[in-house]
Chains A and B, each alone.
Chain A
Amino acid sequence: MQSAFQGIEMGKRSLFAHARALSTVGHNLSNASTEGYSRQRVHFSATEPLYRPDLARAETPGQIGQGVDISRIERVHDQLLQGRIVANSAGEGYWQSRDKYIGQLEQVYNEPSELSLRSRMDKFWDSWQELSQYPEQMGARQAILERANSLGDGIKLRHQQLLQIGSVLDQDVKATVDRVNQLTTNIGLLNMDIVRVKAEGDSPNDLMDKRDLLVTELGSLVNITIDERDPDEYSIHTNGLHIVQGAIHRPFELQTDLENEGYSAVHWGDVKSRFYPDGGKLASLLHVRDIDLRQEVQGLDNMAVNFIDLVNEVHTQSYGLGGQNNVDFFVEHAFVTNANGNYDRNGDGQMDHSYVFRMTGSNALDAKSQIGLRGTLTLSGPQGDVAVDYFPTDTVEDLILRVNLSGAEVVARLDRNNQLSLKGAPSAALGQPDFVIRKVADSGQFLVGYSGLLTTSGDAGAYQFNRQDAVSSLRTGSDFAVAPVAHPSGWISVNQQLVKDPGAIAAALGPNGKPGEAGDGRAALEVAALRQRSVMVGSSPSFDDYFSDRVVAIGLKGQEAEISVKTHELIMKNLRDMRESYSGVNMDEELAQMIKFQHGYNAAARFITTVDGMLDVIINRMGV
């Protein structure tokens, strides 16, 4: 039996449904510019018709429609596209921040201009040329002092700039790790809410939009993958490990890394193991800080320590105006203080290592003469020892070149007295000290009897830095210089003795170990000649090469970053456009829907009025 008020009931359902649809249109229009918002669609469906085929069924023909209901409100969303966006945002995050910081490193160079460190050094060499022309004069010496101060300031300034970039990077690492922790916490909370809502059979559209937004941001910070196989447990992995598992999240924590300038290292908060991200902003920050910036600082240090050593080598063997001899031109404050280079590395109060930067053999060699010996040199390298073979037909020059190209962290050259000089280079491994020769051994006689550096050949006579008094394996008559313990570029300065007495700046070589005459400018000429001489500044043969190599290296990094950031931004733009095209709100569409729903609403109201009229006829006009 059909109710008299059934029409009003049906009309009411329609009114409600259309009002809901209209309010969803309003929600869409309101959120048209909300980041990460997906438009929502209302799904209408016909209400269950009368009657179901059971015992209560009335004996009337046909099923009777009961109007409309809203079955669900859904967001228009492409889950796979979202997955691609998350996967690609790591690349964009990585290159955007790398591009920014490499750009800052480039600016430190001030190249190519007259303000660069290179031009300051040019002027320094030029002042020695001037002194070689006027060795009698005080003016030329004052000029050297000024130029040397300016150069020292330049080196220190660059060092400071690099340090500043380093501390900004470190701050950024901290902020990024904080942000990652914040994001994973929020994602965990959202996961909890979403599961609850879903359990009630609703679709938590806005919550899921919010989670997608957070996950995309997280993806730009660290490399993540998303696992949605279990609908109740939304998981995020990084490097194959859970970072979010449903409502649970695993935070990162920061620890000070004493082996790396005291910068923060990222660790898992729960298991405390070190975390090395592979992508995203965090990875780029750590890479720039621990690789690129470190190389810059090492490069500058390397230049400074070699520069100081070479200038001092000539200067200490030369004579000032008043016959002053054995005076260092540059001084370094933070060298190992022990005369034998002994150093307490682990800080337990016992000398346990020897930090030696340079060792020089006692015999004068001829670069062009053949060695006539056979053997293998063992030198410390970036990953373990590096072996360099030599043969009787090699010339000294050949072998030196082979050592320098071997990739060992020890470089060789013949110094001004034609003695073989081995120097420590910056170390690639984080834990090893820079500018320290770690191992030198020779299975034959080249380093032993020929160049007069080691006492005995073979492993028994090897120079090993991991003991105190390692220099005892060096032959008497050989020479060595201890290594710096702080950044040499941060501490370089002109010897104060020279500032007080510029006359002590040496221009003369002097005859036969006697003070030179006033007009002797040979030492000054020799200092000026260091500029182009093959002096092995790390792997760069000369200072000119060093400056050129560094400029090209950082420039190329910048170029790579710029191209990569553009590529990744374009990829991301295309993906975002696709998402926007699918999920974004189109006002025209919404307005058209609005008109449609409005008309639907009006029609439903009209229908109720009609039913009302029908009831009015029955109740008031029947005249019963």
Chain B
Amino acid sequence: MDRVSSNLPNDNMQYFTRQRQVDMNAMQSRLASQNRILNLRDDPAAAGHAGRYQSFNTRLERYSDNIQRSIEMYRSTETQVRSALDILHEVRQLAVQAANATYPAEERKIMAGQVDEYLQQLVQVANATDGEGNAVFGGFRTKTTPFRTVDGVVPGHGSSVMVDVEYLGDIGTKQSEIADNQYIDTTFPGNQVFWAENQSIFSARDASSFVLGQDSVISIDDQSIQLKQGDNVYAVIAKINDSNAAVKARLDPIQNSLVLETTNPHQIWMRDQSGTVLQDLGVVKDPESNPPHNLANGATRFGGSLFDMVISLRDNLYANDQLDIGGRVLSGLDKAMGTVLSNLGSIGAKTTRMELAYLTTEKLIPDYTGRISRELDLDVTKAITDYKVMEMTHKAALSTAARIIQPSLLDFLR
């Protein structure tokens, strides 16, 4: 430029000072808010990442809470199950003692009284509620007492005692999300924890000519099994055996009827979801009635709960049946203890797993907070030095401006 107008230096000074002031103001706001990103345009990618991380951190904190809560639930469940196991130990000792032929009938009756007390304690344990009044072993039916006792008279004893314990809960297990799309069971249904033997159900109906008239769905242990029109009983059996339910089906060789057997000790939970296959095969009453009290007339079930074993011991003690105590009863009690122990083991294993998951989650939270900080937070040292440099240039510009907004000829004219 070979010519300068009188306004030009002034305009330039204003332009650059304004620009610097804008920058200084932005830097000041960053320092005041400690945020690197004032507007999304400052770093759109970082803002996008930070949003994801913030949401993820919110979830991690939720997962951490969920894990802690599941550990607490496992601990209180474990306490209850352990106390059931302790009682079973006492009961088993009495059974071993009573199997000994040296005791007379009267003493066995006294022992029977003792077993009855243990039995009541066992039922009390199985009906335990947590601090919020929810049944621990009722499945989803947390507001119902899971085990109902039926009183009656047994031979060898005068007054009425508990003769049966029925399960009123269901087989739902509460779940907690412990990581993205990772769920863990936090409750254990009572008909699994307090069970002794594998259960089997024998239908009384000949199924050899059974052919399915329409597509149907049956549910066994909450596993839906799809059946197609035209399936015969062998196809049904194959589909049940292929499902994830811990139940095996077979055809009784003599009666040609359906037999369902569990592969581990628990109560079979079955119903017709759509159609009437199980009803037609003579296993359940009708689709409307709820398990487990929906067995068809004529169908028989074997394999009982822990309570059945203890009741059987007590009744044999009343009846002074020393042989049964030493044989069937003792083996039943051992099975019951086995089931309780294996459930205890599973609770313990889950607790350990959750303790590990807790450590991971608690480690992830600061990790991601760190990432958020890296994306969003201001490097204060750099910001302050940058600001200082700007301030210096600003001062320099102002002081030169004050001097070089040129003296004009006017200053010299008289």
Question: Quick check: A552 and B141 within 8 Å, CB to CB?
Answer: no
CB distance from A121 to the nearest CB of B (A): 8
Q: How far is the CA of A135 from the CA of B175 in the complex (A)?
A: 11
Q: How far is the CA of A33 from the CA of B12 in the complex (A)?
A: 14
DSSP class of B's interface residues: helix, strand, loop or mixed?
mixed
Q: For the side of the interface on B, what is the size category?
A: 35 or more
With contacts A33-B7, A112-B54, A577-B1 taken as known, whether A521 is within 8 angstroms of B175 at the C-beta atoms is yes
Question: Quick check: B140 and A588 within 8 Å, CB to CB?
Answer: no
Whether A580 sits at the interface, judged by CB under 8 Å, is: yes
Question: Quick check: A129 and B6 within 8 Å, CB to CB?
Answer: no
Whether B241 sits at the interface, judged by CB under 8 Å, is: no
CB distance from A34 to the nearest CB of B (A): 10
Chain A binder among B43-51, B314-322, B346-354, B381-389:
B43-51
Give which listed residue, A544, A557, A580, contacts B52 with CB less than 8 A.
Answer: A544
Question: Quick check: B140 and A508 within 8 Å, CB to CB?
Answer: yes
Give which listed residue, B40, B66, B271, B409, contacts A555 with CB less than 8 A.
Answer: B40
Which residues on B sit within 8 Å (CB–CB) of A132? 175-177
Whether A573 sits at the interface, judged by CB under 8 Å, is: yes
**Mask of A539-581 contacts with B, CB within 8 angstroms, 1/0:** 0000010011101111111110110000000000100011011
Question: Quick check: A107 and B51 within 8 Å, CB to CB?
Answer: no
- Count: A-B pairs, CB below 8 Å: 186
Q: How far is the CA of A581 from the CA of B1 in the complex (A)?
A: 7
CB distance from A83 to the nearest CB of B (A): 19
With contacts A519-B139, A544-B55 taken as known, whether A585 is within 8 angstroms of B5 at the C-beta atoms is yes
Q: How far is the CA of A116 from the CA of B54 in the complex (A)?
A: 11
Of all chain A residues, the one with the shortest Cβ separation from B217 is A512
Question: Quick check: B6 and A518 within 8 Å, CB to CB?
Answer: no
Whether B121 sits at the interface, judged by CB under 8 Å, is: no
Question: Quick check: B5 and A581 within 8 Å, CB to CB?
Answer: yes
Q: For the side of the interface on A, what is the size category?
A: 35 or more
Which residues on B sit within 8 Å (CB–CB) of A559? 41, 44
Question: Quick check: B410 and A591 within 8 Å, CB to CB?
Answer: yes
Question: Quick check: A519 and B5 within 8 Å, CB to CB?
Answer: no
**Mask of A107-123 contacts with B, CB within 8 angstroms, 1/0:** 10101101010110011
Whether B101 sits at the interface, judged by CB under 8 Å, is: no
Of all chain B residues, the one with the shortest Cβ separation from A582 is B3
CB distance from B20 to the nearest CB of A (A): 14
CB distance from B167 to the nearest CB of A (A): 14
Question: Quick check: A512 and B39 within 8 Å, CB to CB?
Answer: no
Which chain A residues have a beta carbon within 8 Å of chain B's beta carbons?
32-33, 102-103, 106-107, 109, 111-112, 114, 116, 118-119, 122-123, 125-126, 129, 132-137, 508, 511-512, 516-522, 525, 528-529, 531-532, 544, 547-549, 551-559, 561-562, 573, 577-578, 580-588, 591-592, 595
Q: List 28 A-B contacts (CB under 8 A).
A: A32-B5, A102-B41, A103-B41, A114-B54, A122-B55, A122-B59, A126-B58, A133-B69, A133-B176, A134-B132, A135-B174, A137-B132, A511-B170, A511-B222, A512-B273, A517-B139, A518-B142, A519-B134, A551-B44, A551-B47, A558-B44, A577-B1, A578-B1, A580-B5, A580-B7, A581-B1, A584-B6, A585-B5
Which chain B residues have a beta carbon within 8 Å of chain A's beta carbons?
1-8, 11-12, 15, 37, 39-45, 47-52, 54-55, 58-59, 62, 66, 69, 132, 134, 138-143, 170, 172, 174-177, 180-181, 183, 187, 219, 222, 271, 273, 287, 375-376, 408-410, 413
Q: Which 4 A-B pairs have the closest CB atoms?
A: A584-B5, A555-B44, A558-B41, A519-B142
